[in-house]
Amino acid sequence: MDTSATIAFLHTVADAVDALTLERYERRRLTVDTKPDNSPVSDADRAAERLIREYLERDFPGDAVYGEEEGGSLEHAPRRWIIDPIDGTRNYVRHNPVWATLIGVEENGQMVAGMASAPALGRRWWASRGNGAWLSENGGEPQRLRVSDIDRMDRAAFGFSSLSSWDETGRMDTLIAFARATWGTRAYGAFWPYMLLAEGAFDIAAQPGLDVYDMAALVPIVEEAGGTFTSLEGKPGPWWGSALVTNGKLHTAAQAIINETHMQPGSGEETRPDNRN
């Protein structure tokens, strides 16, 4: 796939979806249901995914698609588009601006391109393999992203998304250990800690209880910015139900904290991932 054409297509789709989601967000009239995992879904989530799929059906009719709201298959396919139409639905329905549309492109098991567009924040991040990671603020000129050079845990900024997922997967000891070991801890929700890491504002971000659509678009952005993206067990990619994301220099030390705390009594076993965003 021509990576420049892929990114141009992603921008076109993101422009259309941003117009839809932002209009409904600002109007503050949403129909909100509760899914079986107790997470919310709005009519805007469903409409956004349907719009993305319409673009894909028109321009890439032979490609596989997997999305949060309409599902799909994760069986092997030459190319797959992985969609989270609104990552941060809890924020979206409460008029908190930290939400984004995430679209990742997978080829033969590898994430090769991704875009995260957060119109209420006026920010859009994207990347493709070998072409760097980029940020545009309020439609301005793209800025190339680079992770931080912090190489000590006691100087590291740590971010996560949801306290409940740490609790429900029996990993509160790990979260507390990160808070004690690092310079500062912040919880901004959904996709944002990982994008702040790609910008160099965070040095470590981690979260259990994720699904592939929560992470797929973010992997190439983080990695093209120079970071490392694995599961909490150290497996690469977005496939394993959790995320440990670092600037690369701190990955071994962060993994050691996870390994040490998860082996202790009361740490529990990792459960099937759910969506807490």
Backbone angles phi, psi at 146, to 5 degrees: -150, 135
Collapsing DSSP to helix, strand or coil, 222 comes out as helix
Backbone angles phi, psi at 231, to 5 degrees: -80, 175
Is residue 68 part of an annotated ligand binding site?
A: yes
Is residue 2 part of an annotated ligand binding site?
A: no
Instruction: For residue 151, give the amino acid letter.
Output: D
Is residue 86 part of an annotated ligand binding site?
A: yes
Pair 277, 189: CB distance under 8 Å: yes
Q: What whole-number distance in Å separates Cα of residue 171 and Cα of residue 165? A: 8
Q: Of 230, 237, 225, 236, which Cα lies nearest the Cα of 254?
A: 230
Place of tokens 């979206």: 92
As a whole number of angstroms, the longest Cα–Cα distance in the chain is 53
Residue 122 structure tokens:
């006026």
Is residue 15 part of an annotated ligand binding site?
A: no
Q: What whole-number distance in Å separates Cα of residue 111 and Cα of residue 129? A: 8
Q: Is 82 left (phi over 0), alpha (psi -120 to 50) or beta?
A: beta
Q: Of 198, 196, 199, which Cα lies nearest the Cα of 186?
A: 196
Is residue 87 part of an annotated ligand binding site?
A: yes
Local structure of residue 232 (DSSP, 8 states): T
Annotated binding residues: 68, 84, 86-87, 214
Residues at the binding site for Mg(2+) are 68, 84, 86-87, 214
